[in-house]
Chain A
């Protein structure tokens, strides 16, 4: 019997992908002063709880062992004792006061977002994050970078599975950074454990939070508030770099955004559009309409063989630009550039069994967006 049990336990341990001792049990200490003080609060209250548990369960186990009928213990018939009752009401109260003091101080500190060096507006979208560097003309979306093959178990999962994005939000170390949170649709929550920031992004309202990162590095997080179908698939990556690296990155971004503006005016060839479009489709459309265009009927229609995709160009453009908000498709006119939308549409019209041979130019899309 005992041997069998051992074997079962052994089998159980072998079944696990990693040894138990290599596991993460606790909250990360994080890389900011505030994350450090939150961690300390957490450990203090944890040890207090542990001590209470040891005392309470200790007394209980002791009396379960000694005061059992099978050991011939006779029941005493006492009940009620004012002194004891006053003591066990006051002591917990005093312990609580003792925890409340440091908690209050930490909270006050966390709420002081004044005098920031850099302001970044973070907007939640179903299901990606948008970052806008206020006063810098830099803004971009940040989307899950894990390939669908890994999610669908067709490829081995990489170590950063579900915690990787295409464009991390880049910030300098040692600067006070203020985040302003809002949302474009439902409530999301921006959470990076190493920074100890978790704040709701609420449509129509703005929340704020701040951080000052002490060490360069890549810090990963996830959306914490249920926001619909792909709630599990909108991670966050914060890249903390030295100030000079940050300046260089910012300059690059500005240049790239200028280039993108110019790209809208350049003449695009069909091949270029289809090639760019494949990437845009994979990132923005495939989650619902699937990489092979088969969709997920009845909720998400197939695009392969779709009458809209094979039909009038303008109708197709309108659907993508304005979305089908009632059916769960976002209005991409608000999220993507004209180039991206034109490329994605051209890609859709010339992929799978769709062989329209049509090309939609960025200028046409821009035209439609301007009219609305």
Chain B
């Protein structure tokens, strides 16, 4: 398989300029992944502040205004800084390797898309030191809290979001062009690995909704600085309009944050079950239907704004419908495991935890879809529990699983399996200890985004905080494992996983700087 040995025209440039000037998909993938890891820790530190304040009732550590800045920045950084760039990093490394392309289609654009991000986030983080403080209106920045009543830093927030949006759109264009034009000769669309399929669909979602986000932040900017009244009733506008535009972006956005993880899991499960994916076509179809449905469910975030009955019913029904293709995915993963020959290395453990815990999040999503019941759930910790279940053991575990899975190919070294298992179990316990009790306090009546709470919520909040500290510190172990692998890991084999299939495993280990400079021959099964 490794017969087509790569002829290296030139290796990477030396020194720091390699990383600034690089147009190599592997370098850029690494940059994205490292960047997202840094953001994970910055956002995690903010979560730490939040959970420390909520450890006990009463105000202890921070003032309410700073608390609100922490919840806002935590959300923004985790979504736009940690999860999304991590997926782009995985796409950069894996899409060319999996379709047999030498690089991304638009390498310079690729470099540009990445290098926008450090500037965007430096600007966003700098608002913490501005007079009036950082944005404090929640990651959802509802008007008029984010317009008339916003701190001056809202202007920088708008600009930072614009930059992130440009980065995402350019990244998405690159993925689409690469997949459409650079597949190995003879590779048809229905031969694409699922990770590539899910990313292709995600890229279309990004192109469709990032401009909507740009529109809504621009309207906020206009209301703040240029005297318009998009969101102010006093000038003929409507605060609810903000929510419609925002959620038209933000609901597809939540799927942007999970579809690529579906792809990763769909690669890992067959490998460690040593059995082909149960329903490849069904998986592609389910992903596409989820993407389509995600455009017509947005107002399920707005059941309490006073929509007409017909509106409530429409969004309730469409939201419930999304559970069907989501179920199809879960059933397919489980049927793939069924009658397989399974082993449980770290990537598989994270993948199985993904299936279980993501499903729990999907089921609570189904409960939230029931509009009358949502009148009780909305804006409580029950919602916080729901979206953390789909995003942390969902998206984040998906990313971690992917990193462990492909790390041997990227670095040529094997991570320490024992430490990997520790990392998994501590994360698994931490994540459940943190987020499971949130269901209970939410149902019992605790609103979200509050720095202080009534006494009956005290015990569960303490448990949650302890869980969060455990989960947070465990991720330091992850960093240690990564560093240890790169510096002193045992050399990995060409095919580190017995059951792995796919073009990415056909290149030498570690993957050389340039791969597939001549297109691979596809061996027909």
- Bound state CA distance, A37 and B316, in angstroms? 17
A161 at the interface (CB under 8 A from B): yes
Q: Which of A67, A73, A159, A181 counts the most B-chain CB atoms under 10 A from its CB?
A: A67
Over the window 338-355 of chain B, the binary record of Cβ atoms lying under 8 Å from chain A Cβ atoms (1 yes, 0 no) is 111111100000001001
- Give chain A residues whose Cβ lies under 8 Å from the Cβ of B331: 56, 88
A285 at the interface (CB under 8 A from B): no
| Neighbour of A202 across the interface among B306, B328, B379, CB < 8 A | B306
A223 at the interface (CB under 8 A from B): yes
**Cβ contact within 8 Å between A205 and B282:** no
Given contacts A60-B334, A199-B306, A298-B131, contact A92 B316 (CB under 8 A): no
- Give chain A residues whose Cβ lies under 8 Å from the Cβ of B277: 79
- Give chain B residues whose Cβ lies under 8 Å from the Cβ of A224: 304, 378-380, 447
- Give chain B residues whose Cβ lies under 8 Å from the Cβ of A111: 309, 312
CB closest chain-B residue, reference A57:
B356
A196 at the interface (CB under 8 A from B): yes
The 9 nearest A-B residue pairs measured at CB: A204-B233, A232-B450, A207-B306, A24-B444, A75-B341, A49-B363, A76-B339, A224-B379, A75-B274
CB closest chain-A residue, reference B147:
A186
- Give chain B residues whose Cβ lies under 8 Å from the Cβ of A100: 316-317, 320
Chain B residues 247-276 with CB under 8 Å of chain A are 273-276
- Give chain B residues whose Cβ lies under 8 Å from the Cβ of A42: 367, 370, 373, 376
- Give chain A residues whose Cβ lies under 8 Å from the Cβ of B65: 229, 299
A280 at the interface (CB under 8 A from B): no
Chain B residues 299-335 with CB under 8 Å of chain A are 304-306, 309, 312-313, 316-317, 320-321, 323-324, 327-328, 330-331, 334-335
Chain B residues 345-403 with CB under 8 Å of chain A are 352, 355-356, 359-360, 363-364, 366-367, 370-373, 375-376, 378-380
Chain B residues 224-253 with CB under 8 Å of chain A are 232-234, 238-240
Q: What distance in Å separates the Cβ of B208 from its nearest Cβ neighbour in chain A? A: 26
Given contacts A27-B443, A56-B330, A69-B274, contact A63 B68 (CB under 8 A): no
- Give chain A residues whose Cβ lies under 8 Å from the Cβ of B305: 200, 202, 207
Main secondary structure of the interface of A (DSSP, over half): mixed
- Give chain B residues whose Cβ lies under 8 Å from the Cβ of A222: 445, 447, 450
B440 at the interface (CB under 8 A from A): yes
**Cβ contact within 8 Å between A151 and B59:** yes
- Bound state CA distance, A41 and B343, in angstroms? 41
| Neighbour of A103 across the interface among B234, B327, B371, B378, CB < 8 A | B371
Chain A residues 6-53 with CB under 8 Å of chain B are 12, 15-18, 20, 23-28, 37-38, 41-42, 45-46, 49, 52-53
**Cβ contact within 8 Å between A25 and B343:** no
A74 at the interface (CB under 8 A from B): yes
**Cβ contact within 8 Å between B273 and A75:** yes
- Give chain A residues whose Cβ lies under 8 Å from the Cβ of B449: 226, 231
**Cβ contact within 8 Å between B452 and A226:** no
A sample of 26 cross-chain residue pairs with beta-carbon separation below 8 angstroms, ordered by A number, consists of A16-B458, A26-B444, A41-B370, A49-B363, A49-B366, A60-B352, A60-B355, A60-B356, A63-B342, A75-B274, A88-B327, A89-B328, A100-B317, A107-B372, A110-B372, A151-B58, A152-B59, A157-B455, A159-B455, A161-B455, A185-B144, A186-B144, A198-B376, A202-B306, A207-B305, A224-B378
Given contacts A52-B363, A63-B337, A85-B282, contact A232 B376 (CB under 8 A): no
B93 at the interface (CB under 8 A from A): no
Q: What distance in Å separates the Cβ of B376 from its nearest Cβ neighbour in chain A? A: 6
Over the window 499-516 of chain B, the binary record of Cβ atoms lying under 8 Å from chain A Cβ atoms (1 yes, 0 no) is 100000000000000000
Over the window 113-135 of chain B, the binary record of Cβ atoms lying under 8 Å from chain A Cβ atoms (1 yes, 0 no) is 00000000000000000011000
**Cβ contact within 8 Å between B343 and A69:** yes
Q: What distance in Å separates the Cβ of A104 from its nearest Cβ neighbour in chain B? A: 6
Given contacts A100-B316, A103-B370, contact A17 B328 (CB under 8 A): no
**Cβ contact within 8 Å between A198 and B378:** yes
B63 at the interface (CB under 8 A from A): yes
A355 at the interface (CB under 8 A from B): no
- Give chain B residues whose Cβ lies under 8 Å from the Cβ of A68: 341-344
**Cβ contact within 8 Å between B443 and A199:** no
A256 at the interface (CB under 8 A from B): no
B496 at the interface (CB under 8 A from A): no
A173 at the interface (CB under 8 A from B): no
| Neighbour of A67 across the interface among B276, B312, B339, B360, CB < 8 A | B339
B456 at the interface (CB under 8 A from A): yes
**Cβ contact within 8 Å between B372 and A73:** no
CB closest chain-A residue, reference B279:
A80
- Bound state CA distance, A223 and B447, in angstroms? 8
CB closest chain-B residue, reference A20:
B459
Given contacts A41-B370, A197-B375, A223-B447, contact A230 B280 (CB under 8 A): no
- Bound state CA distance, A215 and B219, in angstroms? 47
- Give chain A residues whose Cβ lies under 8 Å from the Cβ of B137: 226
**Cβ contact within 8 Å between B342 and A69:** yes
Which of A135-143, A187-195, A301-309 has 4 or more CB atoms under 8 Å from chain B? A187-195
A227 at the interface (CB under 8 A from B): yes
- Bound state CA distance, A232 and B328, in angstroms? 41
Over the window 205-243 of chain A, the binary record of Cβ atoms lying under 8 Å from chain B Cβ atoms (1 yes, 0 no) is 101100000000000011111111111110000000000
- Bound state CA distance, A75 and B275, in angstroms? 6
B107 at the interface (CB under 8 A from A): no
Q: Which of B309, B317, B375 counts the most A-chain CB atoms under 10 A from its CB?
A: B375
CB closest chain-B residue, reference A105:
B372
A357 at the interface (CB under 8 A from B): no
| Neighbour of A24 across the interface among B148, B452, B456, B499, CB < 8 A | B456
- Bound state CA distance, A205 and B143, in angstroms? 14
- Bound state CA distance, A92 and B330, in angstroms? 12
- Give chain A residues whose Cβ lies under 8 Å from the Cβ of B336: 79
- Bound state CA distance, A230 and B59, in angstroms? 12
Q: What distance in Å separates the Cβ of B471 from its nearest Cβ neighbour in chain A? A: 16
B64 at the interface (CB under 8 A from A): yes
- Give chain B residues whose Cβ lies under 8 Å from the Cβ of A199: 304, 306
- Bound state CA distance, A183 and B277, in angstroms? 54
Q: What distance in Å separates the Cβ of A304 from its nearest Cβ neighbour in chain B? A: 19
**Cβ contact within 8 Å between B445 and A193:** yes
Q: Which of B59, B281, B339 counts the most A-chain CB atoms under 10 A from its CB?
A: B339
Q: Beyond A79-B280, A191-B447, A296-B63: 10 further Cβ-contacts under 8 Å? A: A15-B462, A18-B458, A23-B444, A68-B344, A70-B343, A103-B316, A157-B57, A198-B379, A200-B305, A222-B447
